[in-house]
């Protein structure tokens, strides 16, 4: 779900609504549509991005289907001068080079940081190459694997970049992991994080998953939602609009026009949000 819009959704809580000027008031609609081009922050273009690799960690035998994953990849956007280094941890099922991570990397590079981007422990790449147990989901183990990987990356970049300080940021599940990493580093001081930013952390992952389940249960069809029927319903609504408009470009602007002419119901929006998260998470586990 769109990163900036989700920030707007979490900001619109009781007590902070006064003076809230995000142009889309409905939080579900804001989540589905994302941020309009006119409202997006300006980030620098031409940000350097290097894909780097480290050897896969030792652990249980890796299934043959993952033969090509013999190294853990991470992303580096390096300044040409001395600068603070910031580690960015992806959210649930996300890879280090996906869209939200690229946006954060551009923003922090533009602010003067060296940026290191790391996949979520729930992404297959991390699970196979950087996790000793190959079983994600238990926070102490996930954080230990992340902390070990960060130390390996720090050593890998020794002499490659000039580091003034080390900071940390994560979004969604990555933000929750960043909180645990900050606590651990405060005790062990192996990396020495000076500043830590948490964007939309899951205070309780179990509670977050239950909320998403509740969204699906309140979508068209109710608690006994047929996923095939829900997908068919959502695609039929959009496809009829596309055909009536002479096949417009399938981009975010098309979604804005579609929502303006044929406002989706709350049930449809809740179903779309839950479905996208569910399908994305299942694909991350299966691929």
Q: Mean per-residue pLDDT for 44-61?
A: 85
Instruction: Report which of 166, 154, 270 is spatially closest to residue 222, judged by C-alpha positions.
Output: 270
Mean pLDDT rounded to a whole number for the chain: 79
pLDDT number for residue 57: 81
Residue 90 and residue 177: Cα distance in Å, rounded? 10
CA dist., res. 169 & res. 233, Å (int): 38
pLDDT band at 257 (very low <50, low <70, confident <90, very high): low
Predicted pLDDT at 64 = 64
Checking DSSP bridges between strand 50-55 and strand 71-77, what pairing results, if any? antiparallel
Q: Tell whether the model's pLDDT for residue 23 goes beyond 60.
A: yes
Give the lowest-confidence range in 32-41, 49-58, 95-104, 219-228: 219-228
93 touches 126 (CB < 8 A):
no
Query: Tell me, what's the pLDDT at 3?
Result: 39
Instruction: Report the range of poorest mean pLDDT among 94-108, 114-128, 129-143, 191-205.
Output: 129-143
Q: Where are the domains of the chain?
A: 1-40, 50-203, 219-287
Whether 242 shows a pLDDT value over 50: the answer reads: yes
Whether 118 has a pLDDT exceeding 80, the answer reads yes
Q: For the chain, what percent of residues have pLDDT higher than 70?
A: 71
Rounded average pLDDT over 250-275: 68
* Residue 118, SS3 per DSSP: strand
Quick one: tokens of 97? 């080079």
Per the model's pLDDT, the better-predicted residue between 64 and 54 turns out to be: 54
Q: What is the pLDDT of residues 133-160, one digit of tens each?
A: 767 778 899 999 999 999 999 999 999 9
Check pLDDT > 50 for residue 229. yes
| Furthest C-alpha separation in the chain | 61
Q: Quick one: average pLDDT of 27-45?
A: 78
Which has more confidence, 8 or 100? Answer: 100
Asked whether the predicted pLDDT for residue 100 surpasses 60, the reply is yes
Give the E-state strand segments of 119-177 in sequence order: 163-171
CATH architecture for segment(s) 50-203:
3-Layer(aba) Sandwich (3.40)
* Token pair of 276 as six digits: 């996208």
**Would you say residue 249 has pLDDT above 80?**
no
Query: What is residue 189's predicted lDDT score, i.e. its pLDDT?
Result: 96
Mean pLDDT, rounded, for 201-228: 73
> Taking residues 87-101, what's their average pLDDT?
92
Residue 7 above 50 pLDDT? no
Q: What are phi and psi of 78, to 5 degrees?
A: -105, 135
């Amino acid at each position: 779900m769109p990163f900036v819009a989700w920030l707007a959704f979490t900001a619109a809580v009781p007590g902070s609504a006064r003076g809230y000027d995000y142009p889309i008031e409905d939080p579900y609609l804001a989540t589905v549509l994302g941020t309009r081009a006119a409202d997006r922050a300006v980030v620098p273009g031409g940000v350097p991005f290097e894909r780097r690799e480290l050897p896969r960690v030792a652990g249980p035998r890796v299934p043959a289907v993952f033969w090509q994953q013999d190294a853990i990849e991470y992303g580096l956007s390096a300044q040409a001068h001395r600068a603070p280094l910031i580690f960015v941890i992806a959210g649930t099922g996300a890879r280090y080079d996906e869209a939200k991570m690229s946006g954060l990397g551009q923003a922090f590079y533009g602010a003067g940081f060296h940026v290191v981007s790391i996949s979520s422990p729930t992404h297959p790449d991390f699970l196979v190459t950087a996790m000793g147990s190959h079983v994600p989901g238990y926070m102490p183990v996930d954080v230990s694997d992340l902390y070990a990987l960060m130390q390996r990356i720090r050593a890998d970049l020794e002499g490659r970049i000039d580091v003034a300080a080390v900071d940390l940021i994560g979004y969604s599940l990555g933000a929750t992991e960043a909180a645990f990493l900050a606590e651990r580093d405060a005790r062990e001081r192996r990396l020495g994080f000076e500043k830590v930013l948490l964007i939309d952390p899951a205070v309780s992952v179990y509670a977050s998953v239950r909320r998403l389940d509740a969204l699906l249960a309140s979508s068209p069809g109710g608690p006994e939602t047929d996923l095939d029927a829900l997908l068919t319903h959502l695609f039929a609504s959009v496809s009829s609009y596309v055909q009536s408009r002479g096949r417009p470009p399938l981009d975010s602007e098309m979604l804005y026009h579609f929502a303006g002419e044929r406002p989706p119901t709350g049930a449809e929006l809740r179903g779309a949000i839950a479905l996208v998260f569910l399908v994305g998470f299942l694909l991350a586990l299966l691929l």
